Structure 1
């Protein structure tokens, strides 16, 4: 019976370490997806001159969950609501951001970008998109560095902590 408990403790701790490491791996991928979304938005707004709800809908179809769901929700609420775009943008991001692996810094960049949507002319909007992309690019570098530094460490810590608990309880 002790061995079954020891194996369960070891397995659980290892799984927790792998899960934490997976979040460190997801963050750079999701930031890259946000950068891709901003590129699509720039192309659709500047060259296609599509309405914002259609742009957001197109972006939602090209992104993986949870980011695709966030953009889809914003596009649906914009069509069905009389609130301003930046209010809808911020409220939706505040509600759904916890589903992502990204941090508050990325959220603040995207919220600040959303406050400029639909307010400026196309040239100014393009500059705002470029600014948001530059900030996200910096965060991508930080996220990649954190992934390299911490993902292997948390995998190992999960296994080692499981072994430590197993030795303590046996």
Structure 2
């Protein structure tokens, strides 16, 4: 019976370490995808002159979850809600951000970007997109560095803490 408990403790601690490491790996991927979404948004809005609801709906089809869900939710609420785009944008991000692996820094950048959507002319909108991309690129560099620094550490820490607890309890 002790051995089953020891194996469960070791497995659980290892799993927690791997899960934390996976979040460090997902964050740069999701920031890259967000940068890609801004590039698509820029092309569709500035060069294709598509309405924002259509752009957001197209983005939801091109992105992977959880970002695709966020953009889909915003596009659907634009049809059904009487709120402004800025309010819908912020509410949806606040409601769904915890499904991503990104931090509050990226959330603030995206919310601030959303506050400018539909307010400016196309030239100003393009500048806002570039500004958001610059800020996100900086966060991507930080996230990639964090991934390199902490990902392996948390995997090893999970295994080692499991071994330590197993040795203590045996």
TM-score, scaled relative to structure 2: 0.99
User: Partner of 1:148 in structure 2?
Assistant: 148
State the Cα distance separating 1:82 from its structure 2 match: 1.5
For 1:3 and 1:79, locate their aligned partners in 2 and report how far apart those are by CA, in whole Å.
58
CA RMSD of aligned residues (A): 0.4
CA deviations on 1:24-75 (whole Å, 9 max, x unpaired) are: 0000000000000000000000111011000000001011000000000000
CA deviations on 1:113-145 (whole Å, 9 max, x unpaired) are: 000000000000000000000000000000000
Aligned-partner SS, 1:118:
coil
Aligned-partner SS, 2:58:
helix
5+ residue gaps, structure 1, are none
User: Partner of 2:36 in structure 1?
Assistant: 36
Alignment of 1:73-84 (within 5 A): 73-84=73-84
Deviant stretches of 4+, over 4 Å: none
5+ residue gaps, structure 2, are none
For 1:134 and 1:161, locate their aligned partners in 2 and report how far apart those are by CA, in whole Å.
39
User: Partner of 1:64 in structure 2?
Assistant: 64
Matched, 1:3 2:3: yes
Aligned-partner SS, 2:98:
helix
CA deviations on 1:127-166 (whole Å, 9 max, x unpaired) are: 0000000000000000000000000000000000000000
Aligned residues: 170
Matched, 1:52 2:52: yes
Aligned-partner SS, 1:109:
helix
User: Partner of 2:138 in structure 1?
Assistant: 138
For 1:48 and 1:162, locate their aligned partners in 2 and report how far apart those are by CA, in whole Å.
55
Aligned-partner SS, 1:102:
coil
For 1:160 and 1:82, locate their aligned partners in 2 and report how far apart those are by CA, in whole Å.
54
